[in-house]
Structure 1
Amino acid sequence: MTDMLSENETAAHVDLFSKFDPLIEMRRNLLSTGQEDPFGLVMERVISPTVAVCNGRETILLGTYNYMGMTFDPDVIAAGKQALDDFGSGTTGSRVLNGTYAGHKAVEQALCDFYGMDHAMVFSTGYQANLGIISTIAGKGDYIVLDIDSHASIWDGCKMGDAEVVPFKHNDIEAMEKRLRRIPAEAGKLVILEGVYSMLGDIAPLKEMIAVAKKYGAMVLVDEAHSMGFIGPKGRGVAEDQDCLDEVDFVIGTFSKSVGTVGGFCVSNHPKFEIMRLVCRPYVFTASLPPSVVATATTSIRKLMHAGDKRAHLWENSKTLHKGLKDAGFQIGTDEPQSAIIAVIMPDLEKGAAMWEALLHEGLYVNLARPPATPANMTLLRCSLCAEHSAEQVQQIIGMFTRAGKATGILGA
């Protein structure tokens, strides 16, 4: 007998996809009744920041994160077209090789001006910004204390960096302090928070949490992806709104929300920050953003500095939709509107999918969010408002939700 396989024997075949079988079955069950795929919608034409053609009909967009409606801003589009003419379609290189054009320096300067900080570093996506910054500054022997509801990109950055990860209950200041108290005083510590949490649209008590973090000698990183451009007097996010931006060591953000294009960034006042350009692997080993993208981002960011009227209108939209859906009988993720995200809690995934499809037939697109991405295994219909939604559109949306809720039995007749 031998442990070696003979010529006629073959090793047992292990299907590496078998781990996904429960998800495959869930998707099959959802689509077995002929229902539209809630995770595969195709937009055939986009007319404006708030309207697209889906399945051949005009549809109101309420699930795009296009908070400030900058995707069709004439100045933004013109800047992108000009950059295409002047610099071509792409850089074909990393930022540390041939991938730094004048536009990349310009967008980083715009970010420094926007936040009033000394350093800015732009990544190809917001996901890469978290992945790169977190994994580079917190490594083996360091500790990361983070909110349990943190975005997937934050968790992945922690895993890649090999630091000791210590989660705490969502938005619980006392639980956060308890974790920090147990960490050796001499250890490197990074506290990671988000301004707005994307699933329920709730905000963090940043001012109190940052004070606790500093008490224990921790550095602080705040992800403001869902608040930049909208929250705060100048649109700098929740940290600005709570008057603690100066206490934040690193702000992470994205261009794919309020800025209206694609890309990610980190801004900081740390005097040694520029070394990150040589040691951060997701920055060093990734092709840089196309010149047309950074041109649109620069123009958008500079316009967002003076977008007070848009911010005020978006707040009105958020308050109106939150109240309208609550009055109609829906369960909302927050007691009061806290951001541009309004999360409508569904009884279960099956009902949520049915409601999503009923809304699409009404002419409204929202996001269906499901476990494990959602907190407490909830199924959500996540609405993200835009500053370009008119007051009339918001009223239309409330009517669509009410009719769909009754048709699916989620609301009483």
Structure 2
Amino acid sequence: MNDHSSTPGADSSGTPAAATDLFSKFDPLIQQREQLLAAGMQDPFSLVMEKVLSPTRAICNGRDTILLGTYNYMGMTFDPDVIEAGKQAMTDFGAGTTGSRVLNGTFQGHRECEDALREFYDMDHAMVFSTGYQANLGIISTIAGKGDYIILDIDSHASIWDGCAMGNAEVVPFKHNDIEAMEKRLKRVPEGAGKLVVLEGVYSMLGDVAPLKEMVRIAKENGAMVLVDEAHSMGFIGEHGRGVAEEVGIIDEVDFIIGTFSKSVGTVGGFCVSNHPKFEIMRLVCRPYVFTASLPPAVVASTATSIRKLKHGSNKRAHLWENSRTLHQGLRDLGFELGTKQAESAIIAVIMPDLERGAMMWEALLTEGLYVNLARPPATPANMTLLRCSLCAEHSAEEVQTILGMFERAGKAVGII
């Protein structure tokens, strides 16, 4: 006779145990979302763009809408040369690669894209990933492993944190943009241990800039390698658009620069550039590179063309800065609380009192014909709810004034100003 008590998943009486619902951990978030939707609001995280008209406008809910939340900083998504390069590559090479870069997934376009990156940054090595997330995941987890130490800003992007976790290094966070705190943690690392300092040029939530010059100096004085994520500064910060590290004159002291194609470049994908003499071995040891299908031919062709055009984008950069300063000052004058005291990047974060009123403000702006990002905890620092605006070089001066009018009307309607 069988002893049911020994059956896996059964209790002592032989009754099968109730299965644990692995989704139960998400119940508070599910309830929060249901409460917002029950009030008749549109879901801020499932907006559909029915047709994209330009880098700055789309049809949303059947209405012509100004886009102020797309990270399309340099407006390259509709550049005629970028689009034509993609069309030609699809005709010549097909729709996809169906393989990893180390197998059949390296086409001529991938080499040309990496050549364009090397030229843009004036560096020896460039490695293209299928997403910006994978670039951080792959590079960080591969170069810093068990027994090594990663010292990073507490407000680092999720892809940076996930790269740390995947590599099993000791992770030592420090208070956001706090130079003294970073130095203290560096000095506590055991002598002889490998050290990697991970920073961002522009932090994506508040749009604030890191004090890279001082931080890189301290990192080097303490024997650490430095990785800087320039995802939100590539293309428009620095004389040649190489980011904050170029702007403050320390780009040659940075060991690795990570970036993405889904912001200023206007396509999709990620990359790492470096002057380290052993960097090419990464192509054989970096798992998120080795075990992922490579980018489609059309994407790398469009990307290479966009990067080469960004080298000569000084006029666009100047106009984007003008837009950013105008919008930042205008919102402050209206009485909104912003994430930074002055315009530091193309990201302007408008701080909301709480999630409910943030969602109401988001919907009021959408009704006006303006799309921005609603950002909420835990993705935001200090449990803030933000309306995150990302300007584009293709926004006209008139559009910026229109946007200010929309914010004024929506803010008064919701009771925030």
TM more than 0.5: yes
The CA RMSD measured in Å over matched residues stands at 1.0
Contact kept in structure 2, 1:143 and 1:164, CA below 8 Å: yes
> What does residue range 265-344 of structure 1 map to in structure 2 within 5 Å?
265-344=271-350
Question: In structure 2, how many angstroms separate the alpha carbons of the residues matched to 1:8 and 1:57?
Answer: 60
Contact kept in structure 1, 2:5 and 2:14, CA below 8 Å: no
Unaligned runs of 5+ in 2: none
Secondary structure of residue in 1 paired with 2:105: coil
Question: In structure 2, how many angstroms separate the alpha carbons of the residues matched to 1:8 and 1:162?
Answer: 41
Aligned equivalent of 1:12: 18
Aligned mate of 2:411, from 397, 405, 408? 405
Aligned equivalent of 2:201: 195
Shift of 1:372: 0.3
Secondary structure of residue in 2 paired with 1:108: helix
Question: In structure 2, how many angstroms separate the alpha carbons of the residues matched to 1:43 and 1:135?
Answer: 35
Aligned equivalent of 1:108: 114
Secondary structure of residue in 2 paired with 1:332: coil
Contact kept in structure 2, 1:185 and 1:216, CA below 8 Å: no
Aligned mate of 1:210, from 202, 206, 216? 216
Contact kept in structure 2, 1:253 and 1:264, CA below 8 Å: yes
Shift of 1:33: 1.4
Aligned equivalent of 1:347: 353
Aligned mate of 1:30, from 14, 28, 36? 36
Question: In structure 1, how many angstroms separate the alpha carbons of the residues matched to 2:19 and 2:297?
Answer: 47
Residue 160 of structure 1 pairs with residue 170 of structure 2:
no
Aligned mate of 1:132, from 121, 130, 138? 138
Aligned equivalent of 1:53: 59
Q: Deviations for 1:226-280, whole angstroms, at most 9, x for unmatched residues?
A: 0000100100000000000000000000000000000000000000000000000
Contact kept in structure 2, 1:126 and 1:265, CA below 8 Å: yes
Shift of 1:184: 1.3
Shift of 1:170: 0.2
Aligned equivalent of 1:219: 225
Residue 66 of structure 1 pairs with residue 72 of structure 2:
yes
Question: In structure 2, how many angstroms separate the alpha carbons of the residues matched to 1:377 and 1:266?
Answer: 31
Question: In structure 2, how many angstroms separate the alpha carbons of the residues matched to 1:206 and 1:33?
Answer: 44
Contact kept in structure 1, 2:71 and 2:264, CA below 8 Å: yes
Question: In structure 2, how many angstroms separate the alpha carbons of the residues matched to 1:42 and 1:2?
Answer: 53
Q: Deviations for 1:128-187, whole angstroms, at most 9, x for unmatched residues?
A: 000000000000000000000000000000000000000000000000000000001200
Which letter does structure 2 place at the counterpart of 1:350? Answer: E
Q: Deviations for 1:349-376, whole angstroms, at most 9, x for unmatched residues?
A: 0000000000000000000000000000
Secondary structure of residue in 1 paired with 2:127: strand
Normalised TM-score (structure 1): 0.99
Instruction: Report percent identity of matched pairs.
Output: 79
Which letter does structure 2 place at the counterpart of 1:348? Answer: D
Shift of 1:331: 0.2
Question: In structure 2, how many angstroms separate the alpha carbons of the residues matched to 1:47 and 1:270?
Answer: 42
> What does residue range 316-395 of structure 1 map to in structure 2 within 5 Å?
316-395=322-401
Question: In structure 2, how many angstroms separate the alpha carbons of the residues matched to 1:286 and 1:66?
Answer: 25
Question: In structure 1, how many angstroms separate the alpha carbons of the residues matched to 2:69 and 2:193?
Answer: 42
Question: In structure 2, how many angstroms separate the alpha carbons of the residues matched to 1:242 and 1:195?
Answer: 10
Shift of 1:34: 1.4
Aligned equivalent of 2:126: 120
Q: Deviations for 1:51-77, whole angstroms, at most 9, x for unmatched residues?
A: 000000100000000000000000000
Contact kept in structure 2, 1:141 and 1:187, CA below 8 Å: yes
Aligned mate of 1:99, from 74, 96, 105? 105
Contact kept in structure 1, 2:4 and 2:14, CA below 8 Å: no
Which letter does structure 1 place at the counterpart of 2:174? Answer: F
Secondary structure of residue in 1 paired with 2:308: helix
Secondary structure of residue in 1 paired with 2:6: coil
Residue 240 of structure 1 pairs with residue 242 of structure 2:
no
Shift of 1:12: 2.2
Aligned structure 1 segments of 4 or more residues deviating by more than 3 angstroms: 5-8
Residue 87 of structure 1 pairs with residue 93 of structure 2:
yes
Question: In structure 2, how many angstroms separate the alpha carbons of the residues matched to 1:129 and 1:294?
Answer: 15
Question: In structure 2, how many angstroms separate the alpha carbons of the residues matched to 1:2 and 1:367?
Answer: 55
Which letter does structure 1 place at the counterpart of 2:345? Answer: S
Which letter does structure 2 place at the counterpart of 1:52? Answer: A
Contact kept in structure 1, 2:100 and 2:106, CA below 8 Å: yes
Normalised TM-score (structure 2): 0.98
Secondary structure of residue in 2 paired with 1:190: strand
Question: In structure 2, how many angstroms separate the alpha carbons of the residues matched to 1:129 and 1:150?
Answer: 14
